[in-house]
Each structure stands twice: as structure tokens, then as C-alpha cells.
Homo-oligomer: A and B are copies of this chain.
């Protein structure tokens, strides 16, 4: 990991009502995270009557935690506009974000509704200076380990400049997660040749190649099958395609898992084979286990926001907290800010040569 910041404690704001299970998963998850990251403190936002009984069972956690009461919980099915209307100022989700905005906490973790969390994050925290639109970065398991893929659905459509910003933000996250000074970055495209694809992707590729940013190594275009292959550390695409790629991969993994289940119960021989190979099957399940890489990072906001899967268990929730911890400890926001400033300077210097479409300038 990169150098740690000077802060002595990482203060985590938790939307305790988010997710399918609320405090019954969130609090044991925080207890697990505290064991592995002892320099952490917590503020839990939500219904005291539900939080405190669970927290009482975790003495070490209770000793470093505050509870702030909120009566309003955003439902997993609320539309973002509904959530904002009903939950602004008063919901556990909003209050957790507000704690980061006011400086009482360093990062927010929520397993709540993604659309509502993004809408509230934009509204409460605003985007960083120089960033128009936030993105969601996902950790993607590959045959070589993991890669970061962004944007997986925060904003639809992207001009060349937004794609370059995504590359910069994803690389800053990759520096922390993979402990690499210059992670490799690829632009998702329909072919690896420079002449192929959408104009904005080609323009972003030219900018990334020519500006030679200090925080990343530009690899070039990658195709859909390069994601699972782990060809690059960071795969950049706009949110519509990124969301479809992510869900298509999840669907394919589930499909193969179903084929496996059916095949392994299709005959006596297969059932016997399964008994012998059970350990191996469990190892595969672990590799594909979303809990192992839980924690989508919202990038481009003026604050660290981590989205945990709604259906995760305590182990998965602890993983999301640890992602937030690392982002704070290794100064994600500072890294993004620094890289964006460098890119912006490059852009001013090279503007006459770079042929961006007018809308992207």
C-alpha cells in the first residue's frame, strides 16, 4: 500500500439502515472490520432501538462508536427522486453523508439503494472541483486477480473529456488498491485498432496517449473479453456500457454455475465426483464470491462514499468498510485532485494539437 496519511484514526460514517438486513449485518460487519483495522472509529446513523441492542453485543466496537438516531430509512425500492424528497436531511443515509460533508467523518458506507445513494451523494457532497459527473467503480475478479472497471452505471454517455477523467479517477483508486505507482489503463472498445470505435473513445485515447500522465500507464483499447483476462488494471467505459458489461458478466457467471449444479446432480457418477471435488468447487465459489470484492467506490465526489452490496453478509460488509478505510488512509481524494490538476495543465499546454470534438473542450 502507498504511504499512510498523518491522521491517527479513520472515522467511518455508517448508514446502519441500508441493505437488505440493516443493523443485524452492518454492526457485526463493523466489528469484523475493527479487528483488522483497529485505528477506526464509527458513527452509526439509524434507529437507535434497532442499533443499540446489536451494538451492545460487540463491546470493543461499542467503545469506539457513536449512535445518531434517525427515524427515516430509505427503502431499497425508492426511486432517487422519492428518496431525496422524503429523506433529505432526515434519513440515515443523508445524515451519514452530512457527517462527511461537515468533517465529522472521513468516509460513508451504505448498503442502501444505489440510485438514492448516488443522488444524495451528489446533492449533499457535490462533485470535486474539475469533475462534472461522478462515476461508480467496481472491483472485477479476473484470472490474474482483480481489476477496476468504471463507470458501471452512475452516468450514461460520456464525451472524450469525461472518459479521460474516468481514467484518472480509476487510476488513482488503483494506485491505492493495487499499490502500483502507475497502474495500466485501457479504454473499452469494439476492437483494439486505433481506427475503430466511437469518436469520443478515439479522442480520449489520443489525449491519454499524448498527455502521458504521471499517475497511469495508458495501454490502449481493450475489448470485452480483456476484462476477465485482467489485461489492464483499470478498464474505462461510460456508464451505460459499463453497467451492461457488469450485469452480463454476472449473468454469465450465474449461468455457468447453474450448468455446473445441474451437471453435478445429473448422475450417480457425477454426484460421487462432486463429493470428492467439493473442496475444489468451494474454491471456485470463493473466487467468484462477490463478498470478497465488495465495495463499489463512488468517484468524483467531494468525499469518500462506498456502496456495499445490499444482500451481503457481515464479512462482505466488513470488506466494504475496509475499502473505505484504505481510500481515506491513502488519500484517494488528494490523489484524484492532484492527477486532475496535472491533466488539466497538460490540456492547456497541448490544447492546439489535441483534436477533441468541440463539446468536449
Measured CB to CB, the residues of A under 8 A from B are 79, 141-143, 153, 156-157, 188, 190, 193, 197-198, 223-229, 237, 239-241, 243-260, 263-264, 266-267, 269-270, 272-281, 283-284, 287-288
Contact = CB atoms under 8 A, between A and B. Distances in A.
A190 B240 contact: yes
A327 B94 CA distance: 57
A222 B188 CA distance: 22
B273 A248 contact: no
B266 A273 contact: no
A92 B343 CA distance: 50
A259 B288 contact: yes
A148 to B, nearest CB: 15
A229 B256 contact: no
Contact of A190 (B239, B266, B278, B288): B239
Contacts of A227: 248, 251
A255 to B, nearest CB: 4
B259 A190 contact: no
Given A228-B251, A288-B259, A197 B156 contact: yes
A270 to B, nearest CB: 4
A229 B267 CA distance: 24
Q: Which of A226, A255, A266 has the most CB of B within 10 A?
A: A255
Nearest to A188: B244
Contacts of A269: 276-277, 279-280
| Nearest 9 Cβ contacts at the A-B interface | A273-B277, A224-B247, A273-B276, A225-B251, A224-B248, A263-B280, A228-B251, A270-B280, A228-B255
Contacts of A283: 263, 266
B255 A142 contact: yes
B284 A260 contact: yes
A225 to B, nearest CB: 3
18 contacts: A142-B255, A143-B255, A190-B244, A197-B240, A228-B252, A229-B255, A240-B241, A241-B244, A244-B244, A256-B256, A256-B257, A256-B284, A259-B287, A267-B280, A272-B273, A273-B278, A273-B280, A277-B277
